Amino acid sequence: MNKITGNLILVLIYAFAVQPFFVLRRWRDLIFVVLYHITGYRKKVVWENLKNSFPDKSDEDLKKIQKRYYFHLSNLIIETLAFFRLNSKNMLKRVNFKNPEILSELYEKKKNIVLVMGHYGNWEWLLVMPKIMKHTGVVIYKPMKDKFFNDFFKNKRVKYGGYAFAMKETLRGLIGLSRKNNPWLAAFVADQTPTGNEINFWVKFLNQDTPVFLGPEKIAKRFDAAVVYAEMMPKGKNKYDVIFTVIAEESIDTKEGEITVKFNKMLEETINKAPEYWLWSHRRWKHKHLKDKKK
């Protein structure tokens, strides 16, 4: 994309972003109608994922979850727009960190942290975390193909402080930070789907054999970092509560796969509390386990 076209799109984005939330929520309602009723965006994928994840639920219950999910997805869109103009003070009014002392205690022990979360709630709003912690913040991201927007979003990811490392730069970047005096916290959205040639570990997740990345666990062990799970639960209109739970303080002492299994179990428990807030339109189970292919 050329720079002129990119800047025109950014003007439109900011034109929406500057609107107050009560106006953005009107846009959300319109987006919901478009996604759910008019285009039926990925409805087949969402339904199949829900059906396989909750085999004991009735079709009526699944349809309710599906509808609530599209409302949440519409909310995510307006919250992403609002993110571009919200300062840290406004963000911290909307993202309530319930137990930040977990991070402070690990900081006092000079422990680096690998923070793991799922595509649940609004994971992008966790980018405000540098404002509530002493660790050097690091966000790990998957680069976009378009350089203009990749650079734009990379800069936005660090607007509250810290660093943004592309996935392939993670190890080198963290080695560099480890040479400095301040412990770091690296945040991973850890429920993404590995490509076919990257699959080497499976877990039972939402009643299905699921391929998962071991990357966050390997990074944690490489630096003997503590591993912390962040649960982000919606609370009211465009507001969230965040609770931290330590999965492993001494990751180097854990068995292979132990941290990854625990994370997926905790994420599953979070999803079961309120399924509509997870990213169901993602094709999470497009890869089949070898034992299933043989059937």
- Give the pLDDT score at 149: 78
The per-residue pLDDT string of the chain (295 residues; one tens digit each, 9 = 90 and over) reads 667 787 788 888 889 889 999 999 999 999 999 999 999 999 999 999 999 999 999 999 999 999 999 999 999 999 999 998 899 999 999 999 999 999 999 999 999 999 999 999 999 999 999 999 999 999 998 888 888 778 877 888 889 999 999 988 999 999 999 999 899 999 999 999 888 788 889 999 999 999 999 999 999 999 999 999 999 999 989 999 999 999 999 999 999 999 999 999 999 999 999 999 999 999 999 988 766 554 4
Q: Give the integer Cα–Cα distance in Å for 94 and 167.
A: 28
Q: Tell me which H or E stretch contains 1.
A: none
Tokens 């109608």 identify what position?
A: 33
The answer to whether the CB of 127 falls within 8 A of the CB of 139 is yes
- Give the pLDDT score at 10: 83
Written as one letter, the residue type at 181 is N
Helices (H) and strands (E) in the chain, counts: 11, 9
| Structure tokens belonging to residue 285 | 């189970």
- Give the pLDDT score at 245: 98
The answer to whether the CB of 282 falls within 8 A of the CB of 76 is no
Instruction: Output the CA torsion sign for 162, 167, 173, 175.
Output: positive
Question: How many residues does this entry show for the chain?
Answer: 295
State how many domains the chain has: 1
Q: What is the extent of the structural domain holding 111?
A: 3-293
